[in-house]
Amino acid sequence: MKLYSYFRSSASYRVRIALNLKNLSYEYVPVHLVRDGGEQLKSAYRQVNPDAIVPAFVDDEGHTLQQSLAIIEYLEEMHPEPPLLPKSPADRAHVRSLALQVACEIHPVDNLRVLKYLKHTVGADDATKDAWYRHWIEAGFATLEQRLAGDSRTGKLSFGDTPTIADLCIVPQVYNANRFKIDTTRYPTIQRINDYALTLDAFARAAPGVQPDSE
C-alpha cells in the first residue's frame, strides 16, 4: 500500500490516521504542494490522480483510489477492525455528517487552489485571503461546536470514547486553525476532542510534524 501525501495536507492527514488506527503499514510517497509551483500539478502526479490533489492511495491490488473519505470508507470495508463508524444507521449518519461538515463546508473553501485563485485571479490581498481562511473555519467550527456540545453521543471524542471518521476530519482541521492562530478556546468541545485524540498513538504518528517530508 502506498499513500501519496503532503505532510500539511489535512485530507492526507485524515487517511494517515485511518491507516494507523487500522494498524496498516504503507509506503509514504511525498508530493510537495508548494515547491516548484506544486508537484501535484506535474504530469507524473496527474497520471496518479487527474484531479491534481493529495491524497491518492494505491491498495495491495494496485487500485488507485482518491478522495480521502472514499479511501477511509474503503479501509473500513476491507479492514473492519477497529471500526471507525458506529453500528446503527442513524449513528453512522450522525458521524458521517460531522465528518462531511468539515470535509464539505470548511476544508474545500480554504483549499490551496481556492486561495491561489482568490489571490491571483480575484486580486485579493494577503489580509483578505487570511480573513477568508479564518472565516470559514470559524463559521464551520461554531456550528460544529454547537452540534457536538448539544449531543449526548459526544464523549471523549466526537462519538463516544473511541475514534470515528468524525475525529479523523476534526483533528486535521484544528491543526489548520492553529497554524492560522485561530482562538480555538472558543470551541471547547472541539478543543477537548482534539487534545484527547492527540494523546492516542495513531493520531500522534499521523501528525504533520513527524512525517518524512515535514519541514
With beta carbons less than 8 A apart as the criterion, state whether 170 and 98 touch: yes
Rounded Cα distance between 22 and 37, Å, is 34
**Which single residue is written with the C-alpha cell 453512522?**
92
- Nearest residue (CB) to a second copy, 109 versus 198: 109
Widest pairwise Cα distance in the chain: 48
Q: Residue 30 is inside which H or E element, if any?
A: strand 27-30
- Give the range of 18-26, 119-127, 167-175, 194-202 binding a second copy by CB under 8 A: 119-127
Count Cα neighbours of 152 within 13 Å in the Cβ-side half-sphere.
0
Q: Report if residue 43 touches a second copy, rule: CB under 8 A.
A: no
Q: What are 49's three cell numbers?
A: 490522480
- Nearest residue (CB) to a second copy, 17 versus 200: 17
- Residues numbered 91 to 110 that lie near a second copy (CB under 8 A) are 92-94, 96-97, 100-101, 103-105, 107-109
- Residues numbered 53 to 82 that lie near a second copy (CB under 8 A) are 53, 59, 61, 63, 65-67, 69-71, 73-74, 77-78
Q: Report if residue 162 touches a second copy, rule: CB under 8 A.
A: no
With beta carbons less than 8 A apart as the criterion, state whether 143 and 101 touch: yes
Residues that bind a second copy (CB under 8 A): 50-53, 59, 61, 63, 65-67, 69-71, 73-74, 77-78, 89-90, 92-94, 96-97, 100-101, 103-105, 107-109, 111, 114, 117-118, 121-122, 124, 128, 131-132, 135, 143, 146-147
